[in-house]
Amino acid sequence: MNLFGMSFRFGGAVLVGAAAVLLAPVLLPVVAGIVRPIAKGLIKGGILAYEGVKVAVAEAQETIEDVAAEAASEIAESRKEPAPPPAKTRKQSA
C-alpha cells in the first residue's frame, strides 16, 4: 500500500478545504456581485416570458370561443325551418 500517496491526497483535500474557508469571506461578495445580476436577469426574463405566454393563451382562448360561438350559431341557423311565404291577398272589385 502506498500510504504516502494516500496521505498526500488527504492533505491536499484538507489544504483546499482550509483555503476555501479562509478565502470565502473575500470571494463570496465578489461572486455574489457577479451572480446576482445574472440571476436577476434570468428571473426577469422568466417573468416576461410568463406574461407573454399568459397573453397568448388568453388570445387563443378568445379566438377559440369566437369560432365555437360562430359554429353554434351556424348550426342553430341551419336547424331553423324556413318561414312559409306570405299569403297573397285577393283584391275584391266593387
| pLDDT score recorded for residue 8 | 54
Give 25's pLDDT tier (boundaries 50, 70, 90).
confident
Rounded Cα gap, residues 29 and 26, in angstroms:
6
Task: Provide the residue count of the chain.
Answer: 94
Rounded Cα gap, residues 75 and 69, in angstroms:
10
State the alpha helices, DSSP H only, in the chain: 3-79
Averaged pLDDT, 42-57: 97
| pLDDT score recorded for residue 17 | 84
Please report, in angstroms and rounded to a whole number, the separation of the first and last CA atoms in the chain. Answer: 137
